[in-house]
Chains A and B, each alone.
Chain A
Amino acid sequence: MRIEYLYPELGNLFGDSANIKYLMLCVPNAELIRTRPGETPAFSDGADFVCLGPMTERGQKIAAAALAPWAEALMKRVDEGTHFLFTGNSMEILGKEIRSANALIPGLGLLDMHSETDLKARYNGFFLGEADGITITAFNSRFSHSYPGGDTDGFAAVKRGIGINPGALSEGVRLKNLIGTYLLGPLLPLNPDWTKKLLSSLGTDADPVFYTEAKEAYEKRLAEFSDPRRKLD
């Protein structure tokens, strides 16, 4: 299995590099490729799982520019069923543009979506939702929201917390095996059952490592997130 961590020097905020670390522990024989901005992404030759993590606003600009020449190749891989996971604000690069008071960052235009950043309004809170028939527990911490067109599928249905924007009933975006999500956690170690499903979808019979311990922590979190007396933040 070829796993690509795109732009690790940019997309490494909020502990999300642990998605890759956890995946590599689950599939120890996988090949891990770290691609820097300016280098040819591994997915252009073929990869099984490609990950990009949350970044600063400056990082978004650099990453969007670095990925722009590879937009067509990325779309081709999406069509072929390659798994992509873009977490935090890296998801916004997939849309048409990212707007803020001082800048407009052109996106890759792969999704019918735009994003709006307001550095004076940070949203924090936990998230409870459902994806692939599994209850997801995760966190939000962001300055931006995204606004997809009507035909864009979401990643998870919102049960508690906010979705892709404050009025949305779903969180994130999904296009075949490409998932874009604002959810932090990191998503994989925090959601062992969903990770199990992901591993199976990647064609491996590997189980999530430390499944029992991850599941115990997940169950405790799930109980807390489901408790209406607990505030989102």
Chain B
Amino acid sequence: MKRVKFIAALWCAKFVNILLRLLGRKGTYMPGKLAIKVCPDYIAQIRKPPRVVAITGTNGKTTVNNMLSDALEALGSKVLSNRFGSNINAGIAAALTDGVDIFGHLKCDIAVLECDERSSALIYPGLKPQIILVTNLFRDSMRRNADAEYIADFISKNVTENTKLILNADDLLSSSLAPDNPRVYYGIDRLPFEGEPKENIVVDTRICPICAGSLAWDFRRYNHIGRARCPSCGFAAPEPHYRIRSADIDNMTALVEDEGEERLIKLPGDAVYNIYNTLAVYAALRELGVEGSQAAAVLESIKIVGSRFSRQSIGGRELTVIMAKGLNAVACTRSFDYVASQTGKRLVVLMLDDVFDEKESSENIAWYYDADFEFLAQEDIFQIAAVGPRRLDIRLRLLIAGVPEERILTAAGLKEISEAIDVAGSEKIFVLYELYRESSAAELAGLIADKMRSVSV
């Protein structure tokens, strides 16, 4: 009976998949949702590739998932990935459906699947991945994820026995996950160009996770990322197996130490979080048996998905569009920090509202006060524009952060804001947008690009 249910679920999912493709829709979780409804243990029952890698964490998991999938494909593997789909259990089920034919025979030899942290209980027991790579754990949407400690406990409870963990040594929260599981760590030494860390509102591990004593930091990179130890009980950040010793941002390379050998790897972006993402991909490749030199070579050709970070030059000015992730204070802070670290006269457009809340409810904006808008209070960031329904809340947050009133603009719509901003006075323009505002961000970037062209003429 169990098998009959599974076959019915598989065929239903395949049928819906065909229908959706005929309708021109891709990346939907609908087939997976239906399959799980028909056969609740569908993820456990469906045949999976011999190697399954799950990618999870608060920030960077999509980038790592996509980079690793691309790298494995470039190395000749047939990769099953949810890179265009959803990362909840229905999305995983939909991706696994794509990995088999209607008779349930496998079409791929490895699965790389981005998994939502909050869906761990619905994914890992059935998926039983050989490897789980965790990018980091920070506080995220308070509605879904409560707090970072809660999510860490939740993942730990659902990691399957014998699954090998690839963990960020510089994150005390995620490096402490599921302590009985086998693990390797990756980490980045303090880099020569890194200055003193800025004060962050959010530091999710301020006290020792073992004895609650005060932590001493050998160095803190941002938020709770860095190397900490507890003088009271001796607890300390683990030593990384894959370790970046130095990085050359001008040439976009980093030196990785791996089993006593040093290798140069290419970086696809100059933000520190992208160095972590690249190192995580390198570590995953190595744990999958790829030779170090081969792993370094394949990273030469791997890029970050354009929708998350794109840059163009128009008439001597630069337009950068960054997916900043609303409801996620740390992801926004990373983007603010990135903008703050750039030089020149900068203009920033913030489009951070939650589209779902906007439709039917009213967004819980408490997270604005966890994000370091203070980083934007710089003289060279001469204009900050907030667009969307929560623009008045953003304006207040910017004022509290120390941004002078005369530098703040607000507008309800894209056209209005694009007309109001001082493109002529800027050298660099940044658009920071919420995940589900991708199409609006593209539209706004188009309007700004047009204005940049007209100004440059």
A contact residues vs B (CB 8 Å cutoff): 9-10, 12-18, 21-22, 25, 36-37, 56-58, 62, 119, 122, 124, 126, 139, 141, 143, 184-186, 189, 209-210, 213-214, 216-217, 220-221, 224-225, 230-233
Known: A37-B212, A119-B150. A16 touches B400 (CB 8 A): no
A37–B149 alpha-carbon span in the complex (Å) = 19
CB distance B360 to A189 under 8 Å?
Answer: no
Chain A residues within 8 Å of B364, by CB: 124, 126, 139, 141, 184
Nearest CB in chain A: distance from B144 CB, A: 8
A216–B399 alpha-carbon span in the complex (Å) = 13
Chain A to chain B contacts (Cβ below 8 Å), 28 pairs: A9-B203, A10-B207, A12-B206, A14-B142, A15-B366, A15-B367, A16-B366, A17-B369, A21-B400, A25-B400, A56-B147, A56-B150, A57-B149, A62-B212, A119-B150, A122-B146, A139-B366, A141-B364, A184-B366, A186-B366, A210-B399, A213-B392, A217-B392, A217-B395, A220-B392, A230-B361, A233-B143, A233-B361
Chain B residues within 8 Å of A18, by CB: 369, 400
Nearest CB in chain B: distance from A136 CB, A: 14
Majority secondary structure of chain B interface residues (helix, strand, loop or mixed): helix
Q: Which of B139, B361, B395 sits near A126, CB closer than 8 Å?
A: B361
CB distance A22 to B143 under 8 Å?
Answer: no
Chain A residues within 8 Å of B207, by CB: 9-10, 37, 62
CB distance B146 to A143 under 8 Å?
Answer: yes
CB distance A124 to B150 under 8 Å?
Answer: no
A185–B366 alpha-carbon span in the complex (Å) = 5
Nearest CB in chain A: distance from B58 CB, A: 15
**Could you mark each residue 136-164 of chain B with 1 if its beta carbon is under 8 Å from any beta carbon of chain A, else 0?**
00010011001101100000000000000
Nearest CB in chain B: distance from A58 CB, A: 6
A15–B370 alpha-carbon span in the complex (Å) = 5
Majority secondary structure of chain A interface residues (helix, strand, loop or mixed): mixed
Chain A residues within 8 Å of B365, by CB: 139, 185
| Leading 9 A-B pairs by shortest Cβ distance | A15-B369, A9-B206, A18-B369, A217-B392, A15-B366, A224-B362, A139-B364, A124-B143, A56-B149
CB distance B143 to A230 under 8 Å?
Answer: no
Nearest CB in chain A: distance from B346 CB, A: 23
Nearest CB in chain A: distance from B262 CB, A: 38
CB distance A122 to B143 under 8 Å?
Answer: yes
Q: Which of B203, B360, B368, B395 sits near A213, CB closer than 8 Å?
A: B395
Chain B residues within 8 Å of A21, by CB: 369, 400
B30 at the interface (CB under 8 A from A): no
Q: B residues 183-209 with Cβ under 8 Å of A?
A: 201-203, 206-207
Chain A residues within 8 Å of B399, by CB: 209-210, 213
Nearest-neighbor residue (CB-CB) of A54 within chain B: B147
Nearest-neighbor residue (CB-CB) of B143 within chain A: A124
B393 at the interface (CB under 8 A from A): yes
B214 at the interface (CB under 8 A from A): yes
Chain B residues within 8 Å of A143, by CB: 146
Chain B residues within 8 Å of A232, by CB: 361
Nearest-neighbor residue (CB-CB) of A19 within chain B: B369
Which of A143, A213, A214 is most buried by chain B, counting CB atoms within 10 A of its CB?
Answer: A213
Chain A residues within 8 Å of B368, by CB: 15
A124–B207 alpha-carbon span in the complex (Å) = 27
A37–B213 alpha-carbon span in the complex (Å) = 9
A36–B37 alpha-carbon span in the complex (Å) = 50
CB distance A22 to B142 under 8 Å?
Answer: no
CB distance B362 to A230 under 8 Å?
Answer: yes
B396 at the interface (CB under 8 A from A): yes
A13–B203 alpha-carbon span in the complex (Å) = 10
Chain A residues within 8 Å of B147, by CB: 13, 56
Nearest-neighbor residue (CB-CB) of A230 within chain B: B361
CB distance A214 to B396 under 8 Å?
Answer: yes
Chain A residues within 8 Å of B400, by CB: 18, 21-22, 25, 189, 209-210
CB distance A217 to B393 under 8 Å?
Answer: yes
A62–B367 alpha-carbon span in the complex (Å) = 24
Chain B residues within 8 Å of A209, by CB: 399-400
